[in-house]
Structure 1
């Protein structure tokens, strides 16, 4: 079984592939700026155009940036200490300067990796079942939109379902977003929440992914406290954060 050091190494190597740098960049005490490039094996959910992507594993900030925005980004990370680059007052400074070039801050999220020795085996009063890709055919519904992705069905490799009799009441699915890293998404029907279902199916899927030789990872907005609590309860720990810059028209389209 992989240990925590191996898991973090794989994650950093993947992040390096996702922006066009070397994995060692994330361990530097200084901020690093490189020319943005999506590698051939980057995570499947990244979509161009991307003006810049900021990633921090807690030591510094590494930024992949296009030539068009290079001067603005370099000034930004020199102006603010690395973790302050992800704080709203400072992002307002960045947004004002990006606007002139036709860009805005778009996505921000926190990512989690498993702490292998602390992945719990959770009790659950409902029946837990392993579901394979063929079992998802009729599950691409709004209630399972976090666990499964209708637009990338081919990446939904397997999951863990919780059943009340024959009724599916909770689903944790994993998407093969990279060769070695599979992302977990979770949904529980509202009337079955606060019963430990989410953490039971998340931790079960987490263990199963590791058993298959892959690294499970989990993503949440900072404001989604329910999701953050589930991650921590299921044996995940905060690993890295990302902030992505995209053209203004793409960001504005999301707000229509």
Structure 2
């Protein structure tokens, strides 16, 4: 099984592909701004090049940007402390500049990696079964939209389901978002929550992924306390944070979709 240091290195190498930088850039105490470009090795769901994407593994900020906003972002990240660059009120400064370019801050998330010293199979009062691609082909329904993705179903490669008799009550799935890292998503039916099912499914799937030689990772919005708690209970630890800007048209379309 991979060690924690190997897992961390693989994650930074993937971020380097995503941002068009070097993996060592994330360990520097100096911030760095690079021009975003397309990469065949980037996470498959990313829309590249970025207009403005900020990433921090804790030591600094690496910003992957469009050339026209390079100087603005450089001044922003070199003026404010790392953690304040990802939160209000300082974030309003960047967002005001983005809006002048018809862009806005859109996605803000925390990413988690497994701690192999704490990751273990957790107990569950319900039966858990490992599912291969043919086994979950019929599960692209409303209950499992975090575990499986209808629009990118070709990336979904493995899942673990919890059963109450013949009924699926929880599902953790993973997508092969890049060559080395698979992302975990989790859903549990409302009436079965708070029973430890989510953490049992997440930890079991993470172990299955590691045994296949891949790195499991987990993403949650900072405000999603339930998801963050599940990550930690399952043996994951915070690894990096990310903020992405999108066009106003993109954001307005997302908001309209949510209203519908």
Query: Fold match, TM over 0.5?
Result: yes
Residue 136 of structure 1 pairs with residue 136 of structure 2: yes
Q: Which residue of 2 aligns with 1:26?
A: 26
* Gaps in structure 1 of 5+ consecutive residues: none
Q: Take 2:49 and 2:22, find their aligned partners in 1: how far apart are those partners?
A: 22
Q: Take 2:9 and 2:101, find their aligned partners in 1: how far apart are those partners?
A: 35
Residue 246 of structure 1 pairs with residue 231 of structure 2: no
Residue 105 of structure 1 pairs with residue 105 of structure 2: yes
Q: Once the two structures are superposed, what CA deviation does each residue of 1:85-112 show, in whole Å capped at 9, x if it has no partner?
A: 1012111111111111111111110000
**Structure 1 moving runs of 4+ over 3 Å:** none
Contact 1:95–1:105 under 8 Å retained in 2: yes
171-180 vs 75-84, which moves further: 75-84
Q: Take 1:121 and 1:131, find their aligned partners in 2: how far apart are those partners?
A: 17
What is the CA distance between 1:84 and its match in structure 2? 1.2
33-42 vs 51-60, which moves further: 33-42
The correspondence of residues 74-113 of structure 1 with structure 2, limited to 5 A, is 74-113=74-113
Residue 10 of structure 1 pairs with residue 10 of structure 2: yes
Contact 2:158–2:173 under 8 Å retained in 1: yes
What is the CA distance between 1:68 and its match in structure 2? 1.4
What is the CA distance between 1:129 and its match in structure 2? 0.2
Q: Once the two structures are superposed, what CA deviation does each residue of 1:28-72 show, in whole Å capped at 9, x if it has no partner?
A: 001011111232110011124631110000000000111111121
Q: Which residue of 2 aligns with 1:152?
A: 152
Q: Take 1:138 and 1:103, find their aligned partners in 2: how far apart are those partners?
A: 38
In angstroms, what is the RMSD of aligned CA positions? 0.9
Q: Secondary structure at the match of 1:6?
A: helix
Q: Take 2:60 and 2:78, find their aligned partners in 1: how far apart are those partners?
A: 12
Query: How many residues are matched?
Result: 256
Q: Take 2:250 and 2:144, find their aligned partners in 1: how far apart are those partners?
A: 26
Q: Take 1:137 and 1:225, find their aligned partners in 2: how far apart are those partners?
A: 30
What is the CA distance between 1:247 and its match in structure 2? 1.4
TM-score by length of 1: 0.98
Q: Which residue of 1 aligns with 2:166?
A: 166
Q: Take 2:13 and 2:155, find their aligned partners in 1: how far apart are those partners?
A: 21
